[in-house]
Amino acid sequence: MKKSAIITRRQALVTGLAGMGTLLFQQCSRPTPPNYGNILRMGDNFTYIAQRTLLPGQSLAKEYRFADISSMPATGTTNPAKYSEAYDQLQRNSFADWQLRIEGSVDRPGSLSLDDLKKFISRTQITKHHCEEGWTAIAEWTGVPLSSVLQHAGIKASGRFVNFHSYDGWIDSIDLYDAFHPQTILAYGMNGKSLTVPHGAPVRLRIEKQIGFKSMKYIHKIEVTDEFVDHGDIGWAWYNGI
């Protein structure tokens, strides 16, 4: 990947503001994601519509001081190397060969290495993780804004959802509104160090405006789609805005 391919700070600002307006217009002009056909899942759409209507701006999640950082458990995490040969090989080589594939409704599909991601302008934020199991923790996360990666790939005007695939078999998605939120990042660092395996190495998603399980670990592919892809009932609501 050529260094010249990485967008500059000025380009990110200009492109981001222009692109954000277009993308948000697309969001408002299209229907909400379909529910799964039962009363509980219909609550997803109600929450989604209510939050998008009542909180239309890109409000930021609260950021904390370094002194506020707390213990950050990795509850329920299983090392993907136990059942993924591909991840096992990557881990043995300290993730030097890891690649993030970006495909779907983009003008420039391709792959980015960990070094490629680190060439983008980084963002560091100290935020609170709200777990779906009821506990919270504060940690410092460093990574690249997801918006920068999507802009680099050239997301098409028809694109509406961003789907994430992980080495532990998890598949989930978010809309462009959350994808272009300034605090939504692809994190490769935690508390000043490289991300550890229990916390999703080498790269995990951080979505600070949704409940913790949406911040997927062990990402290896991003796919932009024009329509909502129903990945089935995973036990939690698709949208969990906070």
Instruction: State which residues form the domain around 38.
Output: 3-225
Handedness of CA 66, 125, 221, 28 (dihedral sign): positive
The pLDDT, as a whole number, for residue 219 is 98
The pLDDT, as a whole number, for residue 12 is 39
Given a cut of 60, whether residue 1 has pLDDT beyond it is: no
Question: What's the predicted TM-score (pTM) here?
Answer: 0.83
Please name the residue that has the structure tokens 């001081």.
65
Residue 241 lies in a domain: no
Residue 57 lies in a domain: yes
Residue 236 lies in a domain: no
What value, to the nearest 5°, has the Cα angle with vertex 15 and ends 101 and 241?
Answer: 65
Given a cut of 80, whether residue 114 has pLDDT beyond it is: yes
SS (H, E, C) the chain: CCHHHCCCHHHHHHHHHHHHHHHHHHHHCCCCCCCCCCHHHHHHHHHHHHHHHHCCCCCCCCCCCHHHCCCCCCCCCCCHHHCCHHHHHHHHCCCCCCEEEEEECECCCEEEEHHHHHHCCCEEEEEEEECCCCCEEEEEEEEEEHHHHHHHHCECCCCCEEEEEECCCCEEEEEHHHHCCCCCEEEEEECCEECCHHHCCCCEEECCCECHHHCCCCEEEEEEECCCCCCCCCCCCCCCEC
Residue 103 lies in a domain: yes
Residue 231 lies in a domain: no
- For the segment 181-204, what is each residue's pLDDT rounded down to a tens digit? 999 999 999 999 999 999 999 999
The pLDDT, as a whole number, for residue 132 is 86
- For the segment 127-163, what is each residue's pLDDT rounded down to a tens digit? 999 998 889 999 999 999 999 999 999 999 999 999 9
CATH number, domain of 157, equals: 3.90.420.10
Residue 144 lies in a domain: yes
pLDDT band at 35 (very low <50, low <70, confident <90, very high): low
Residue 240 lies in a domain: no
Residue 242 lies in a domain: no
- Number of structural domains the chain divides into: 1
Contact assessment for residue 223 and residue 103, using Cβ atoms and an 8 Å cutoff:
yes
The pLDDT, as a whole number, for residue 2 is 39
All residues at 6 or more sequence positions from 117 whose CB lies less than 8 Å from its CB, including other chains: 100, 143, 144, 149, 186, 188, 203
Please state the rounded mean pLDDT for residues 72-97: 95
